[in-house]
Structure 1
Amino acid sequence: MPTRAVDAAAYLQAFVLSGVVTVLAVRAYLQATGYPQLGGGGLHIAHVLWGGLLMTVGLGIALVFLGGGPRMAGAIVGGVGFGLFIDEVGKFVSTRTDYFYAPAAGIIYGAFAMLVVLTQAVRGRTRLNPDERTANALDLILAGVPGGLTDRRRATVLRLVRGSGPVTEAAVVRLLDAVPRREPPPVRFWKRWAAASRRLVAWLTGHPWLVWPVVVYLVVEPVFTVAAVLLDTVTGELDQQREWGAVLGTSVAALITAVLSIRGALRLRRDRLGAFRLFKLALLVDLLFGQIFNFTVNQFGAVAVLGVDLFLLAVVTAEHRRLVRPMD
């Protein structure tokens, strides 16, 4: 079995985030500029080609250079390329090669949702055995031979080899002593912003007063969605909807979300932990299934709703962890 990388989830996360940002940036730019085309005289250089080129460059970086830095750079460059590539998926799944093909937005969202699921699966299952931890420690040491290793990296190496046996630990320590020390680089401005954002989210999600508005929203919003679809069906407006299949999918996902949320609300008094497990499941159903149809119906205008759902998931997850902690 191939040796797993301890930072695999971080590389996948960088790939996904850079891809998502690329799609949103390209869509915003094209809409703001009137959808210009690169080329002329019957020639159109679609950005799917630039996407393929950047994915190749990202893969090349990861193949040619050693160390976590090049792997992360390759993941980001490859993610940008993937974003450019999948942004034009509508041209390849429709007979009219239509960039504005309505289900394309849902396909794009679904692809990134599956990548997020994969990232979380890797994050939860990357429990390396002693040999894999030793291999990752040696990889870190080799990457630091040209420029040295910071104290933080050295501590990471020692933590990885802990429990691998006295002979292995002693050999790694001797090898680590042969690598020059390096001062840590200055903290980048974007890292400060990211840290501040994480603290703000942690502060918001840690406040109990947010829980009840979230619970009310989780119960009311999907019920209203189902009711609106039923009303459109009775009045005949649903027949005028071009993507009625996606509307039906949205209503089915909303119905499932409503049932789970109502069951959670009914269990709040006697089983708070079980209630928040149901709330979390309801949000995951909406994020992994409902939003695919929502993006098909509302296109990229659904990004705002997605942002709300992600914030709700953060609040519910924080409360669920707080309830689980006393049982550990």
Structure 2
Amino acid sequence: MRPTQEDVARRAGVSRALVSLVMRGATNVSPESRRTVLAAADALGYRPNASARSLASKEVRTFGVLIHDVTNPYFGLLYSAVADAADRAGYDLLVGPGTRSGRREAALVATLLEHQIAGMVLLSPMMRPAELRRLAATVPSVVVGIGDPVTGIDAVTTDEVRASREVVDHLVGLGHRSITHVSGGRVRPARARTQGYLAAMAAHDLEPRVVAGDFTADGGREAGRAIVASGELPTAVVAANDLAAVGVMGVLEAEGVAVPGEVSVVGCDDSQIARLDLVGLTSVRQAVDELGATAVELLAARIADPGTPAVVRRLGASLEVRRTTGPARPG
């Protein structure tokens, strides 16, 4: 049985009212009393009940968080940034772990809404625009990393066109003219990255080539096999994310194609995988901490004033150059 505030008060030899004050972070408690109560709570393993706190204060201080794909390391970084920002703002989090399934995503959203939440943070959701608008009409919501924002929904995302231009600029500077893009599928961030690639290639008057993939290593491997089987090796591959990039690299190296000697490879997200010494993947680093902080800021503002127009923030990104990009092979 979970210990209660009554148990803490009994162990500390104080009133339950004092325990409640300490657990709410009230300032009118002496340091000595606070230490006594917290020591008793720690000894009993007591943890404050967020729902009970909300009922007592008449204010809900919990956000729901929907994560697009818990198997992708990037979303671990993004969730940590949201969690840190929420903690600083005084909010708890309830998490719905998605696995790139629209059906599961809908079920997770329904489950989160069954709990007392003040708002919803959606990390690259798969939901259609109409579904997002219905959700936002039900509970204050902010979308993170959506690529192409939905009208009427608060959003914070990376400027994919600008990021893609920086990638192509880097490769062109190394002498590359044949640059293939491995797409990330039909989800919004993937579509935005493909559009960014196409715009960047057009700006350099280069012929684009898009090979279908998705945001997984398996998708990258399939795309890598298609590239090799075509008999027309590009000098560089820009993958939709780091997992796809690593999948492409594995196929190229298994086929005896040197990276970056024959084909340079670039990823996106600058996840932990990209930074591994054995990988050393050149990758687009998104402003993850700023994405998380801005999401919480927008959601808190929406809760405070529901009638204001929707806000869309586009953040910059930077290219982290590592061992997987080099000069284009002689043509």
Instruction: Name the TM-score class by shorter chain.
Output: under 0.3
TM superposition score normalised by structure 2: 0.22
Return the structure number with greater strand share: 2
Return the structure number with greater helix share: 1
